[in-house]
Chains A and B, each alone.
Chain A
Amino acid sequence: MRKAITTGALALAIGLAGPAAAQETLTLDGSTTVGPIAKAFAEYYMQQHPDVNITVSESGSGNGAKSLINGTCDVADMSRFMKDTEFKAAVDKGILPVAHVVAMDGIAVIVHRSNPVADLSMEKLRDIYLGGITNWRELGGPNKTIVVISRDTNSGTYETFEGLVMKGEKMAGHVEYVNSNGMARARVQNTDGAIAYVGLGFADRTVKALTVDGIAPNRATVASGRYPIARPLFMFTNGYPKLGGTVHAFVTLHLSRKGQEIVEAIGFVPVTDY
């Protein structure tokens, strides 16, 4: 009798454990800029497929690439393309990175709301970060020292800005560094003379986004490529994912109508809606 109960309990336990063990997990790691897209996609996808468990970490594009190379994540979120050194390290380890462009991102240049300056040319912007222009007076603003704020060199946003605006020239020594888009915005919110750059989604009403070369950063100008400081956002997988698999479904979500809505809802520009 006792033996029968034990066997029954065992069978029941196996029966219960069965579907739990079959649950699929998907791990994403990488850029803090792509992170919100990945999280929104994950939330939507898990709603549609309750048997899939998706975790999203945000540790920077560099760390995302590192995780993919080390095989600790399935999808690396990156706000820049992989560097040749990373690509080489990946191939050496038998990982073949494939890029999926999931959205476009404009980098908005933001200043304090009280700042009367409304437009900067790319040259002037570069000159500010090079340390050539140090006072808002030189740009037609008030007599205030410019507090120049940059993202840390660890971020994809920094590398994009460095590539598109600095064009390889080095930022001045007095440039301050912060380690997230939110922190950059917070510093601009409460510093009169501050200038910083953040992802388009972070340029809200609490700060003032400048026009660059006369073009305002918004969805239309970024998607059409007219706004000069814009970039594609990537998800990297190891090889092209197996068709019909979870990874494939996830990295093509941005092509669906719902995916475009999600991208748009969190302040980025869908790639399919030109």
Chain B
Amino acid sequence: MPTDYASPRDLKQDLLLTKAASRNRRLATLAGQGILFALTSTSAVAVLFIFYFIMKDAVPFFALSGLGEFLTSTAWYPSGDPPQFGALAMFVGTALVTSGAIIVAVPLGVVAAVCLSDVLPFSARQAVKPVIEILAAIPSVAYGFFALVVFAPALQAQGGRLLSTATWLVGAPVAALGVMVISDMLTRGATGRRRVSIRLAAGVVLGMSALWLLQAVAARLGQVEIASGTNALNASLILGIMALPTIVSVSEDALQAAGRELREASYALGATRAETLVKVIIPAAAGGILAAVILGVMRAVGETMVVWMAAGNAAQIPHPFYNLLEPVRTLTATIAGDMGEADHVTGSARYHVLFAMAFCLLAFSFVCNLVTEWIVRRTRRKLTG
């Protein structure tokens, strides 16, 4: 006999809570949600506070000295009498060093990400990715020390040779790829035997001229003598290496997120792996890769210790402005270097100008973050919708 089963009346009694118990439960849920919400919003509130306090100390500078000199002058003499606060050279220095870092890190990082996600076998990827991520764990002062003690003297002693070697290393693969693509495009119309010969002729002509060009550039750079090894090039290279792990990691995630279905569909249509990569996967992951690049840029813009040690800290705009071989000064290095003397106890424009710079950096990274967010969201919608 099924006497163990509760009668409908018993069930009803167990399920229905008393009014007090039900209220307590609702309160407990609310309290739990409230605590979790408070904990989560702590970080958001911290960001707001940072914004507020930097604004609070930056605004007096603009009130004291205005925007004119800050943005248009290169005369940076904070301890002069009267002091001059021209930060244009620092803006240019930051832009120059960051651009250099992008040129180093973006091609390397994206190629490495593609290689990790779609070319290397799984086991190799398991081994290589942690190694790349270790780059992010090395303290920046160690990079700075390397830049100052090893790399700067090497640039001074062997500058020309290093530059021409780098030209060959970077230029040769790019030139080879370019020659292949261009000769392919030239022969698009032709067919059969004619196509092969045209292609060969174009390849030889283009290859020879590319070689000649590379040789000329390398020889020219080989003559260069670098007077000071702590310059924009040094800082750019080191910053590029430091931005690599961010770019590799995030791009690789984006490439993975493109999904197995896309790849299989592409293979099913008869595409080769190269075609799948270039025409399907990379376009699908373009948004994520761009986001990775922006994150890498932010890493390079915000880095302080390396640029303070490796960039030379000369408050000047190089001649010409893209000359990476001259020392430059960045916003972050200026803030770190001038903080000690500029105290709010003895308070002055010299203190507030540093916050004005910090505010510019913060605004820049805020905009970068918004753009990244927007790109990622748009890509996600495109992929799913």
Q: Is A157 an interface residue (CB 8 A)?
A: no
Number of A-B contacts (CB under 8 A): 95
* Pairwise interchain contact A176-B314, C-beta atoms closer than 8 A: yes
Taking A83-B346, A93-B345, A174-B314 as known contacts, 11 extra A-B pairs with beta carbons closer than 8 A to each other, sorted by chain A number, are A60-B340, A63-B341, A69-B345, A147-B227, A152-B313, A154-B337, A154-B340, A174-B327, A175-B314, A177-B314, A183-B148
* Pairwise interchain contact A62-B341, C-beta atoms closer than 8 A: yes
Q: Is A118 an interface residue (CB 8 A)?
A: no
Q: What are the 10 A-B residue pairs with the smallest beta carbon separation, nearest first?
A: A173-B316, A62-B341, A177-B313, A145-B227, A190-B153, A176-B312, A154-B340, A147-B228, A60-B340, A154-B341
Contact with A along B36-80 (1 / 0, CB 8 A): 000000000000000000000000000000000000001101111
CA distance A93 to B327 in the complex (A): 42
Q: Is B149 an interface residue (CB 8 A)?
A: yes
Which residues on B sit within 8 Å (CB–CB) of A170? 75, 77, 80
Interface size class of chain A, counting residues whose CB lies under 8 Å from the partner chain:
35 or more
* Pairwise interchain contact A190-B152, C-beta atoms closer than 8 A: yes
Q: Is B252 an interface residue (CB 8 A)?
A: no
CA distance A153 to B84 in the complex (A): 13
Contact with A along B72-111 (1 / 0, CB 8 A): 0011011111000000010000000000000000000000
Q: Is B229 an interface residue (CB 8 A)?
A: yes
Closest A residue by C-beta to B336: A179
B306-320: which residues lie under 8 A (CB-CB) from chain A?
Answer: 308-309, 312-317
CA distance A187 to B230 in the complex (A): 9
Which of A144, A154, A173 is B74 in contact with, Cβ under 8 Å? A173
* Pairwise interchain contact A60-B341, C-beta atoms closer than 8 A: yes
Interface of B is mostly: loop
Which residues on B sit within 8 Å (CB–CB) of A232? none
CA distance A83 to B83 in the complex (A): 15
CA distance A259 to B369 in the complex (A): 58
* Pairwise interchain contact B156-A153, C-beta atoms closer than 8 A: no
Q: Is A66 an interface residue (CB 8 A)?
A: yes
Q: Is A97 an interface residue (CB 8 A)?
A: no
Which of B75, B228, B342 is A176 in contact with, Cβ under 8 Å? B228
Q: Is A168 an interface residue (CB 8 A)?
A: yes
Q: Which of A59, A176, A178: most chain B CB closer than 10 A? A: A176
* Pairwise interchain contact B81-A179, C-beta atoms closer than 8 A: no
* Pairwise interchain contact A144-B227, C-beta atoms closer than 8 A: yes
* Pairwise interchain contact B156-A191, C-beta atoms closer than 8 A: yes
Which residues on B sit within 8 Å (CB–CB) of A176? 228, 230, 312-314, 327
Whether A178 touches B313, Cβ cut-off 8 Å, given contacts A66-B343, A191-B153, is yes
CA distance A186 to B153 in the complex (A): 10
